[in-house]
Amino acid sequence: MGSAGALALSLALLLVCVVVCQDVQSDVAALLAVKKALVDPQGVLANWVAGVANAPCDWSGVICEAGRVFELRLQDAGLQGPLAAEIGNLSELRRLNVHTNRLNGNIPASLGNCSNLRAIYLFENDITGDIPREVFLGCTGLQVLSISQNRVVGSIPTEIGTLSALRSLDLTNNLIVGSIPVELSKCVALNVLALGGNLLSGSLPHELGLLVNLQRLDVSNNQLSGLIPLELESLPLLQTLDLSNNNLTGGVPNIFTNLPALQILRLGHNLLSGPLPAEIGNAAALLEVTLAVNKLSGSLPASLPNLVLLQTLNFSNNLFTDGVANVGGLRSIQTLDLSFNEFNGALPSVLTQLVSLRVLALSGNKFSGTIPLGLGAIVNLQSLALDGNLLEGALPSDFGSLQSLVSLYLGGNALSGSIPETLALCTQLQILDLRVNGFSGSIPASLGNLQNLQVLRLGWNKLSGVLPPELGRCTNLRILNLSGQNFTGALPTSYTTLSNLRELSLDGNAINGSIPADFVKLALLTTLALSNNRLSGEIPANVGNATNLQILELYGNQLYGTLPPSLGNCTNLQTLDLHGNRLTGEIPVGVALLPKLEQLNLAGNAISGSILPELGNMSTLVALNVSRNNLTGTIPASLENLPNLVLFDVSWNNLHGEIPSALGAKFSIASFEGNIGLCGRPLNDNCGVSRKSKWERFWTWRAIVGVAVGGGVLALVVLALCAFCCVHLLRKHRGGRLEKPGSPLDKVIMFRSPITLANIQEATGQFDEDHVLSRTRHGIVFKAILQDGTVMSVRRLPDGAVEDSLFKAEAEMLGKVKHRNLTVLRGYYVHGDVRLLVYDYMPNGNLASLLQEASQQDGHVLNWPMRHLIALGVSRGLSFLHTQCDPPIVHGDVKPNNVQFDADFEAHLSDFGLDKLSVTPTDPSSSSTPVGSLGYVSPEATMSGQLSSAADVYSFGIVLLELLTGRRPVMFANQDEDIVKWVKRQLQSGQVSELFDPSLLDLDPESSEWEEFLLAVKVALLCTAPDPMDRPSMTEVVFMLEGCRVGTELPTSSSEPTNQASPV
């Protein structure tokens, strides 16, 4: 080579070196910028220093090829802060692995400059912002994108369709909205598509069926709606299909014949209905099938035994009625959950052949007969739940063979006999729940050998004898509930050594003696319920040592002495109920300083002194009852400051002076009567006028005693009702915004499918009068018929001043309230004074119109089973609002007009949660009150103007009486008589047949339906007790109504109302 050639080569090499050096320096500068933006508490980046040899390739977490940065490997390094935009200058970067840190900020759009990127791992950080479309446009060779467990928002960019090499996309557990883009179908190399735990809406694209390499599809925990695409059967490699926790409707499609690799099928918590395809048995590779919480019905397919590898089958909370025997061939099954369906008949003996079972749950069905012998042979069984059925007879003798059993739930049946000693052989047992049955005899002392036992619930049986002191050896016990039995003798001192005890409920027995002082040394105890026994002596002086105590119920005993001052140390106490004892002395000041106290009941003692003014500082107090004591002095004006007070009773003391005006306006005469010196509203006595004589007061007391005796007889009747119903308890219990303000193109925010304001206007004829379904205090309801034939109900709320963001927040919350007996909010619209709520249309009208129709046809449109189903449905919906919503929802206006019927005549409670969404105008002609409707409002709500769950129970009781008798609550000629008083009068006079609606007059007095009707009447009377504290909760009402239905027949088609749509 000549000198000229050598020179040219040298210059070329020099140029290459210069370029390479420049590229390396660019990488160094980029990484130093990344370091500068981060907080590095663990010093992982400490050696990222410029100017050192082999920088940056020798830096920790930096992987190089040919001197260039090829990979950043900084996972789980404790790094904090954002990723600097300069990271996009790493032009040769192939893998970015910074998962499991505390990174925040946005995903840098500059990553799109890293055209060689193949994998991005950002999962388990705190990253926010949108997914930058620049990444998809610039990194077309990307194979893995994992950004799960962050707070990424926005929608999935449609440019994702350019990533033809993408194999894994994991966006789970973020805040991504919008629909699933159909462009994903262009990512034909996808093996994993994981979009679960976001806010995605719309339907599943049919085009997903083009992803023939897909092995895992997870879109669970979103807001998807519509049908499951049949095209999913075109995914021959699919192993996991998880569509759970959405709003998918329709049936389960027959996709199983062409999915030979399917192992995991999860479709639970949707709105799926209809039968399960028989072809499910063709998916022979299935290991798990979960279809819980849907509306699937019919029989379990006979093809199930073909699933020889199946380990988990969960069909709970559906409407299946038959085919349990078809699970007998599942020889690999480990978890079988068929709870809360409509199965009936005897438990199939084939269950005893499932020798691999670890969990068997059949709760909340209608199984009857005895528990089959042979379950004890399932030696690996860890959990057995048969509670809430109609099972009877004794426990099988082979239960003692279940050496692996951890939990046994048999409550709410009609089981009888003694508790077998052999249960003590189940040494792994942690939960033993036999409550609400008919077990008799004593508790086996051998149960004290269950060292692992944590929960023992035996309440509401027929057990007797003394409390076994051997239970004190169960040192892991957290809950001990032996309520409602016939136990006698003293409280065992051995129970004071149960240091892990949280709840001790021994109420409703005949236990005598004193309360051991060491009970209060149980540091973790939150509930101590010893009421309605025969306990005597004083309340332990050191009760204040139980600082975690939340509920202390000692009422209905013979306790004497003073209230211990140490009660003031129980700073977590919420309920203190000591009524009906023989306590004396004054109320300790410390009681008035308890910061969380909600209920204070000291009635029926001999407490003296004055009412503490400090009680007025207890902002959490809901109920205060100090009636029937020897209190003197005046009623402190400070009690007017209690914002949550619903029940207030100071009657029958020796109080004097003027009643504070706010209390007098809020509570009735019954709260103040029997105090000879009190005056002012609501008493008829004006202050300054002479009081009644002592003799008048004496004879008044004699009248009260007479009433009390009569009330005792009524209490026995109520106890008899509870005892009957308890046998049947637990059977079903264990539910882009605006493009241009005011434009017709403005979107109605739908939780399932997009609808514009123009669609609504067209569907309602511009809110024409002809489309009006009803008018309520919460606005006008219109029938909306969309272009595709879908019929919706649209409520236009009254013009009001509810701020837009508050309206949207409340509407979003209501949209999450879903139960089969509630009207479900499907969408909303807000702009200016226009506020719309979109619901499913209820074609069969409401209960008010149905009862009116029944009265015109002598009631024959409604037979007893249908009335019972309506009552049960409404009670379940109301119970869901009270107990399953966060925060709990008080309805406030339970009445027949707000009970609507769908196409299947299933009852749906409507008009809940609307008080916060509108400012309701006052209409003098309306029967509505600020807290409900005339005739349905509880006495305390009428007086206080405040809503409560107890007031809802009262309103439900009135609706139940109206449903049973056919009489409206305000249709009585005697102005002093209402429906409750009328029903009680008919019962007292023995004129029971007068209670029956005309359609029920032909009931045979000897039939079970006659008995069921009377039990339902008594449930209604419990609900309408004057004192809200005496009313059951809606959960208890559900239990009682389920127990009231002795028969199993359902309404026949001839007894159902017409299917013609009627106004809601």
Answer whether residue 27 is part of any domain. yes
Specify whether 962 is located in the same domain as 861.
yes
What confidence tens digit (pLDDT) does each residue in 925-968 have? 444 445 567 788 988 888 777 889 999 999 999 999 999 888 88
Position 1059 confidence tier, pLDDT thresholds 50, 70, 90: very low
pLDDT reading at 18 higher than 70: no
Could you tell me what percent of the chain has a pLDDT over 90? 62
Q: What is the pLDDT of residue 818?
A: 86
User: Are 725 and 1022 within 8 A, CB to CB?
Assistant: no
Specify whether 539 is located in the same domain as 594.
yes
Cα–Cα distance, 219 to 172 (Å, whole number): 8
Specify whether 898 is located in the same domain as 778.
no
Specify whether 176 is located in the same domain as 32.
yes
Lowest mean pLDDT among 492-496, 793-797, 929-933, 991-995: 929-933
pLDDT reading at 715 higher than 50: no
Query: What values do phi and psi take at 104, rounded to 5?
Result: -135, -170
Cis ω before 540 (30° cut-off from 0):
no
Number of structural domains, the chain?
A: 4
Mean pLDDT of 719-727: 41
Strand partners, 297: 319
Q: What is the pLDDT of residue 1058?
A: 31
Mean pLDDT of 100-107: 96
Instruction: Name the pairing type of β-strands 486-488 and 192-194.
Output: unpaired
Lowest mean pLDDT among 467-471, 553-557, 803-807, 846-850: 803-807
Output the domain CATH number for residue 77: 3.80.10.10
* Identity of the residue numbered 405: L
pLDDT reading at 22 higher than 50: yes
Specify whether 886 is located in the same domain as 822.
no
Q: What is the pLDDT of residue 781?
A: 92
Specify whether 818 is located in the same domain as 892.
no
Answer whether residue 527 is part of any domain. yes
Cα–Cα distance, 936 to 463 (Å, whole number): 41
Highest mean pLDDT out of 74-78, 540-544, 932-936: 74-78
Could you tell me what percent of the chain has a pLDDT over 70? 85
Last residue within a domain, chosen from 806, 840, 874: 840
Specify whether 973 is located in the same domain as 1008.
yes
Specify whether 836 is located in the same domain as 852.
no
What confidence tens digit (pLDDT) does each residue in 397-445 have? 899 999 999 999 999 899 999 999 999 999 999 999 999 899 999 999 9
Specify whether 888 is located in the same domain as 1008.
yes
What confidence tens digit (pLDDT) does each residue in 981-1027 have? 888 888 777 777 777 766 665 666 666 677 788 888 889 999 999 88
What is the span of the domain harbouring residue 770? 747-840
Residue 1018 carries which DSSP code?
H
- Residues 6 or more apart whose CB falls under 8 angstroms from that of 518 comprise 493, 496
3-state secondary structure 467-532: CCHHHHHCCCCCEEECCCCEEECECCHHHHHCCCCCEEECCCCCCEECCCHHHHHCCCCCEEECCC
Mean pLDDT of 143-147: 98
pLDDT reading at 736 higher than 60: no
Answer whether residue 695 is part of any domain. no
Answer whether residue 690 is part of any domain. no
Cα angle, residue 92 at apex, residues 91 and 97 outer, rounded to 5°: 100
Residue 913 carries which DSSP code?
S
Cα–Cα distance, 673 to 345 (Å, whole number): 56
User: Could you tell me which of 179, 88, 202 has the C-alpha nearest to residue 137?
Assistant: 88
Answer whether residue 552 is part of any domain. yes
Mean pLDDT of 170-190: 97
Q: Establish whether 893 is a catalytic residue.
A: yes
Q: For residue 299, give both structure tokens.
A: 């029989």
Question: Could you identify the residue written with the tokens 């005469």?
Answer: 669
User: Are 751 and 247 within 8 A, CB to CB?
Assistant: yes
Last residue within a domain, chosen from 200, 229, 259: 200
Answer whether residue 173 is part of any domain. yes
In this structure, what is the dihedral angle of CA atoms 94, 100, 102, 103, given to the nearest 10 degrees? Answer: 20
Q: What is the pLDDT of residue 917?
A: 76
Specify whether 885 is located in the same domain as 1002.
yes
| 893, 911, 915, 952: the active-site residue | 893
Q: Is 405 exposed, middle or buried (0-12, 13-18, 19+ CB in 10 A)?
A: buried
Mean pLDDT of 622-651: 92
| Residue 160 CA neighbour count, 13 Å, CB half | 26
Output the domain CATH number for residue 802: 3.30.200.20
Mean pLDDT of 98-127: 96
pLDDT reading at 472 higher than 70: yes
Q: What is the pLDDT of residue 828?
A: 87
Give me the helix-helix angle, 847-856 and 949-965, nearest 10°: 20
User: Are 1034 and 996 within 8 A, CB to CB?
Assistant: no
Mean pLDDT of 702-725: 38
Q: For residue 289, give both structure tokens.
A: 């099938």
Answer whether residue 879 is part of any domain. yes
User: Could you tell me which of 558, 502, 508, 498 has the C-alpha nearest to residue 530?
Assistant: 508
Last residue within a domain, chosen from 805, 840, 875: 840
Listed in sequence order, the DSSP H helices in 496-636 are none
Position 4 confidence tier, pLDDT thresholds 50, 70, 90: low
**Sign of the Cα pseudo-torsion (922, 927, 928, 929, in order):** positive
Specify whether 55 is located in the same domain as 191.
yes
Query: What values do phi and psi take at 909, rounded to 5?
Result: -80, 130
User: Could you tell me which of 194, 181, 193 has the C-alpha nearest to residue 221?
Assistant: 194
Q: What is the pLDDT of residue 668?
A: 86
Mean pLDDT of 152-164: 96
Q: What is the pLDDT of residue 265?
A: 98
CA-CA distances (angstroms) from residue 340 to 290, 298, 348? Answer: 14, 14, 17
Specify whether 817 is located in the same domain as 872.
no
Query: The sheet that has 486-488: what strands, in order across it?
Result: 344-346, 366-369, 390-393, 414-417, 438-441, 462-466, 486-488
Lowest mean pLDDT among 12-26, 257-271, 592-606: 12-26
Lowest mean pLDDT among 515-529, 565-579, 787-801, 965-979: 965-979
Mean pLDDT of 96-118: 96
Mean pLDDT of 161-174: 97
Helix-strand-coil split of the chain, %, nearest 5:
30, 20, 50
Q: What is the pLDDT of residue 748?
A: 63
Answer whether residue 597 is part of any domain. yes
Q: What is the pLDDT of residue 1004?
A: 63
Question: Could you identify the residue written with the tokens 């009150």?
Answer: 929
pLDDT reading at 234 higher than 90: yes
